[in-house]
Amino acid sequence: MTRIESQSQIGGQIEVSVIKEVADLLEAMEIRRAVFVHEFGCAEHEEFDGNDFSATQIIARVHGQVAGTMRLRYFADFVIPERLAVLPQFRKGRYGARGVAFALGTFGFNFARMKGYRRFVGYSVLGLERFWDHLAMASDGRVERYGDHSIECSGSICIGVFGALDPMSGAVEGRENHHLLTACEADLPMLVAARAADIRRVAAELDAAERDRQAHLELVMAGTAASDRRASDRRGTDRRAGDRRRNDRRAGEWWNAAPYPGDRRLANRRLAERRDTAQDRRAADRRTGDRRQELRLSPAGQPQFEFHQMA
């Protein structure tokens, strides 16, 4: 029995991290040897296939004692999470929220999201498909389909798992500065978390500025609307006053609506002139009638003239 296998069963919280020390890498290799080679009977050369030097190695500890490991391998646009192994004494305990295997799987998926990966390919032992569903959903991802035929993986019958991952805020991009691109991968979770916090802070500031702008715009629009209403009221008042003046003119009383006494006097004078003109016309008509009366016709129908002898 190896040193890893002889560790006592303990309870407590789980600490998951990326391996950056050789000693931690050797402990992860011992976990895999204990689980896959000694417990499940996998061949040594199949378990240690040479891909450990091109993969991200992850280790889980419970109260400082190593409990499990897994690795991530990367391709052009997808990631493969594999070699997830948990020591027997840490499998049934409720460490953390869902256990050591669940903590390792979600950490691996989220680490791939930090690197900007959007798709994953895995291999599930038949009967453990729901475990992959739970892992993907807990990591803001989803299993899209399973393989249409089973395959043999180191003595176990497995099936392919194909899924997608949602983008993560603060994920690494090609335009990053060299400090982030050359940083130790074990520090990537901390750096991405800091970037995500900065993004959230800037987004909150932009949202606050947009809300202030909208509030100011609403105030301006309200003032403009009030000014428009006042102008409309003034136009309505002027229109009603004009209507009243026109109605007064039609009724012959527009001079009473004159705003100044001088206008009223002018109107009265014009009215008096019209009355005088009418009286003059009636007097002229009377004079014309008198003349006609003087020029009465004779009984024979001829006018009578009086002749005067000139001296």
Contacts of 25 (CB under 8 A, 6+ apart): 19, 52, 57
Q: How far apart are CA 250 and CA 245, in angstroms?
A: 9
Does residue 301 surpass a pLDDT of 60?
no
Q: How far is CA 11 from CA 18, 59, 104, in A?
A: 22, 17, 17
Query: Can you tell me whether residue 70 is helix, strand or coil?
Result: strand
What does the pLDDT read at residue 262? 57
Q: Evaluate whether 124 touches 131 at the Cβ level (below 8 Å).
A: yes
What does the pLDDT read at residue 122? 92
What does the pLDDT read at residue 113? 94
Indicate the pLDDT class of residue 289, thresholds 50, 70 and 90. confident
**Lowest-pLDDT range, 199-203, 240-244, 271-275?**
240-244
Q: Which residues make beta-bridge pairs with 74?
A: 79
Read off the pLDDT of residues 20-38 as tens digits, 9 standing for 90 and up.
Answer: 999 999 999 999 999 999 9
Compute the average pLDDT of residues 189-201.
85
Does residue 128 surpass a pLDDT of 50?
yes
What does the pLDDT read at residue 103? 92
Indicate the pLDDT class of residue 110, thresholds 50, 70 and 90. very high
Mean pLDDT of the chain: 82
**Lowest-pLDDT range, 25-34, 183-192, 260-269?**
260-269
Read off the pLDDT of residues 205-240 as tens digits, 9 standing for 90 and up.
Answer: 988 889 888 888 888 888 887 787 887 877 878 788
Compute the average pLDDT of residues 151-174.
86
Nearest 5°: CA angle at 78, between 22 and 198? Answer: 75
Does residue 143 surpass a pLDDT of 90?
yes
- Of 74-83, 252-261, 282-291, 292-301, give the range with the top mean pLDDT: 74-83
Backbone φ and ψ for 20, nearest 5 degrees, come out as: -130, 0
Compute the average pLDDT of residues 147-169.
87
Selected residue with higher pLDDT from 46 and 2: 46
What does the pLDDT read at residue 10? 39
Q: How far is CA 67 from CA 9, 94, 210, 230, in A?
A: 10, 13, 49, 77
- Enter the pTM of the model: 0.63
Which of 193, 132, 138, 201 lies closest to 168 in space, CA to CA? 193
Selected residue with higher pLDDT from 72 and 92: 72
DSSP-derived letter for residue 231 is H
Does residue 58 surpass a pLDDT of 80?
yes
Q: How far apart are CA 29 and CA 70, in angstroms?
A: 10
- Number of Cβ within a 10 Å radius of residue 85: 23
Contacts of 57 (CB under 8 A, 6+ apart): 18, 19, 24, 25, 28, 69, 71
Compute the average pLDDT of residues 128-143.
92
How does DSSP assign 243-305, residue by residue? HHHHHHHHTT-GGGG-SSHHHHHHHHHHHHHHHHHHHHHHHHHHHHHHHHHHTPBPTTS-B--
Does residue 267 surpass a pLDDT of 80?
no
Selected residue with higher pLDDT from 273 and 165: 165
Q: Look at the block and give the residue holding tokens 């989803």.
A: 142
Which of 251, 253, 281 lies closest to 267 in space, CA to CA? 253
Does residue 130 surpass a pLDDT of 80?
yes
**Cα torsion through 285, 289, 295, 300, rounded to 10:** 130
